Amino acid sequence: DFIDGALGTPEALAIVEAVKDKIRTYPAGDVFATMDTHTPDYLATQEGENLPVEHCIDGTPGWEIRPDIAALLGGARIYEKPTFGSVDLARDLQELAAREAVELELVGLCTDICVVSNALLLKAAMPEVRISVDAACCAGVTPEKHLAALETMRSCQIHVENA
């Protein structure tokens, strides 16, 4: 739904190939993905009241990961999340970082909602871990909001690449 569905944008479509190329640069076991996962009562939630566009309803085609991207996620850990950021992802990566040195790179949609939320959760959980975001592999709700989110992340010591 975020690429070419209910909340799709030309900017989201434009980053698909770059995201696929980025995924290919990592071993499958080092890839983590999140999926917006909403229930049929989405419009009755706080998010649904503020963003009254049904999207990513569990089990619908718009919820599914695009087939060409899904094909690259065979060994990836995928987190379904009911809201902007994934607390489970942050917890699991924090546990991983306690066992070994890690650097984290984020890509995806939407820069100004889910990407920034996850980046800030991760930075709060692991302030000494290098966290970056590849701006060329992200798109916001609008180009202006994309740029604003990148600036917010820079302010919080998240490295912004390819801006």
Span 73-126, pLDDT tens digits: 999 999 999 999 999 999 999 999 999 999 999 999 999 999 999 999 999 999
User: Cα(16)–Cα(84) distance, rounded to whole angstroms?
Assistant: 20
Q: How far is CA 140 from the centre of its chain?
A: 11
pLDDT > 70 fraction of the chain, expressed in percent and rounded: 100
Residues 136-148, buried b or exposed e (16+ Cβ, 10 A)? bbbbbbeeebbee
* pLDDT at site 111: 98
Reported as a single tens digit per residue, the pLDDT across 23-51 is: 999 999 999 999 999 999 999 999 999 99
Residue type, 111: T
pLDDT score of 115: 98
Indicate the pLDDT class of residue 4, thresholds 50, 70 and 90: very high
Q: Please choose, from the candidates 96, 76, 100, 79, the residue with its C-alpha nearest in 3D space to the C-alpha of residue 88.
A: 79
User: Whole-model pTM?
Assistant: 0.96
Structure-block tokens of residue 48: 């649904």
> What span, in angstroms and rounded, lies between the C-alpha atoms of 163 and 26?
21
